[in-house]
């Protein structure tokens, strides 16, 4: 495959690129919305792509929402989307446990209520949601009660993450036949105004360090996220465009799966970041260079309206 060039997309090239694909996969935060506001013009871009017969999908590492919750958020922001077009890590990790791991048994879940719902929707029983309180003086940490039916530990975003949960996950994972899966490895989530919060990757690394084991992760840049979409809709990788704001997750996923890639500058990564990767000698970093970039996905409008 030819090295990616990170070319600014406009005019005729934009038209040719869109003509060359059947499906467009969008990351969400930093691409079609920022926090709780739609990127101006993004709803029209999605609508026009569909009008031109393109399949559109939404692919996000955020594990705090079910597919239905995403559709509700999108509708509030002016997007029209169907549940089966949305691939978040809450849904995808449930699919991974069911279809790839063929899980038989319960899941010890460090995660959100949304993850619980997606697991239950496919018949997997999660345990461990919500706070895991320490009552009185806990002394025998290594012998906390465990459920003998647990066959997997799944780690996603959990606002109630604690030492007790970390300990419980470690005790389950001391059994070698216990599966270990994480939603994603994002370490920091940037917010408006230059602040940031810890990402799920921090929780996953804590559990990996304690358990002295590596988790399999389902989120971008792991190809499972694309496989999940491709197997549901029969997609041909070379006819797909991945649009994202992060080089290390979105663009890397595209490179890992043989998709065309477009970086948008409304989120985390910059053209300077992409250029630095392009000039690097490291092959891993060279895969974090997009084919094209735009200031905002609204820059696709002229090509779609012409």
Please, is 190 exposed, middle or buried when counting C-beta atoms within 10 Å of its C-beta (0-12, 13-18, 19+)? middle
Quote the least distance from Cβ 28 to Mg ion, whole Å: 6
Q: Whole-number minimum distance, CB 249 to Mg ion, in Å?
A: 7
Report, in Å, the least distance between residue 199 CB and Mg ion. Answer: 11
**N- to C-terminal Cα separation, the chain:** 31
- Token pair for residue 167? 């300990």
> Do residues 115 and 93 touch, judged by C-beta distance below 8 A?
yes
C-alpha to C-alpha distance for 150 and 40, rounded to whole angstroms: 46
Is 273 near Mg ion (CB under 5 A)? no
Footprint (CB under 5 A) of Mg ion, residues 91-120: none
Which single residue is written with the structure tokens 């190809």? Answer: 223
Residue with smallest beta-carbon separation from Mg ion = 30
- Is 193 buried (19+), middle (13-18) or exposed (0-12) by CB count in 10 A? exposed
> Which is nearer to Mg ion, 4 or 264 (by Cβ)?
264
- Sequence length of the chain is 306
- Shortest distance in whole angstroms from residue 255 CB to Mg ion: 16
Residue 29 interacts with Mg ion (CB under 5 A): yes or no: yes
- Classify the phi-psi angles of 63: left when phi > 0, otherwise alpha if psi is within -120 to 50, otherwise beta: alpha
- Exactly one of 4, 30, 87, 230 binds Mg ion (CB under 5 A); which one? 30
Q: Which is nearer to Mg ion, 31 or 95 (CB)?
A: 31
Among 27, 85, 248, 291, binds Mg ion (CB under 5 A): 27
| Interface with Mg ion, residue 221, by CB under 5 A | no
Stretch that binds Mg ion, among 30-38, 46-54, 281-289, 298-306 (CB under 5 A): 30-38
Active site residue 177: no
Catalytic residue among 27, 132, 248, 299: 27
**C-alpha–C-alpha distance, residues 260 and 13, integer Å:** 13
The residues in 37-66 that bind Mg ion, with binding defined as CB under 5 A, are none
Using CB under 5 A as the binding rule, whether residue 186 contacts Mg ion is answered as no
By C-beta, is 245 or 299 nearer to Mg ion?
Answer: 245
Report the site for Mg ion in 243-262 (rule: CB under 5 A): 245
Q: Determine the Cα–Cα distance for residues 58 and 229; give it in Å rounded to an integer.
A: 10
Is residue 27 part of the annotated active site? The answer reads yes
Residue with Cβ nearer Mg ion (128 or 201): 201
Nearer to Mg ion, 242 or 257 (CB): 242
Write phi, then psi, for 235 (nearest 5 degrees).
-85, 150
Helix (H) or strand (E) holding 195: none
Nearer to Mg ion, 171 or 266 (CB): 266
The Cα–Cα gap between 96 and 98 comes to 5
Spatial separation of the C-alpha atoms in residues 226 and 180, rounded to whole Å? 20
Q: Nearest Cα to 32, choosing from 299, 242, 297?
A: 297
Question: Near Mg ion by CB under 5 A, which window of 12-20, 27-35, 36-44, 170-178?
Answer: 27-35
58, 68 in Cβ contact below 8 A? no
**Residues catalogued as catalytic:** 27, 29
* Residues of this chain that bind Mg ion (CB under 5 A): 27, 29-30, 245, 267
């Amino acid at each position: 495959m030819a090295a990616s060039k990170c070319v600014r997309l406009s005019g005729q090239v934009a038209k040719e690129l869109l003509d060359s694909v059947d499906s467009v996969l969008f990351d969400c935060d930093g691409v079609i919305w920022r926090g709780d506001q739609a990127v101006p013009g993004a709803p029209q871009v999605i609508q026009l792509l569909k009008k031109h017969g393109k399949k559109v999908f939404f692919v996000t590492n955020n594990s705090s929402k079910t597919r239905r919750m995403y559709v509700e958020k999108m509708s509030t922001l002016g997007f029209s989307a169907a549940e089966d077009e949305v691939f978040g890590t809450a849904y995808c990790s449930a699919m991974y446990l069911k279809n790839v791991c063929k899980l038989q048994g319960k899941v010890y879940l460090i995660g959100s209520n949304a993850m619980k719902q997606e697991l239950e929707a496919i018949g997997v029983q999660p345990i461990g949601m919500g706070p895991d309180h320490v009552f009185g003086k806990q002394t025998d940490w290594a012998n906390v009660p465990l459920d003998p039916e647990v066959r997997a530990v799944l780690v996603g975003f959990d606002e109630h993450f604690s030492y007790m949960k970390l300990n419980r996950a470690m005790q389950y994972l001391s059994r070698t036949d216990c599966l270990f899966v994480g939603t994603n490895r994002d370490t920091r989530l940037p917010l408006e105004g230059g602040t940031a919060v810890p990402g799920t990757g921090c929780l996953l690394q804590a559990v990996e360090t304690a358990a002295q084991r590596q988790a399999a992760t389902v989120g971008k840049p792991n190809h499972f996220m694309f496989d999940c979409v491709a197997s549901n809709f029969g997609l041909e990788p070379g006819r797909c465009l991945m649009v994202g704001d992060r080089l290390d997750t979105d663009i890397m996923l595209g490179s890992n799966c043989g998709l065309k890639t477009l970086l948008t500058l409304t989120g985390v990564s910059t053209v300077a970041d992409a250029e630095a990767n392009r000039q690097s000698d490291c092959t891993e970093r060279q895969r974090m260079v997009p084919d094209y970039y735009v200031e905002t996905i609204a820059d696709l409008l002229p090509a779609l309206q012409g």
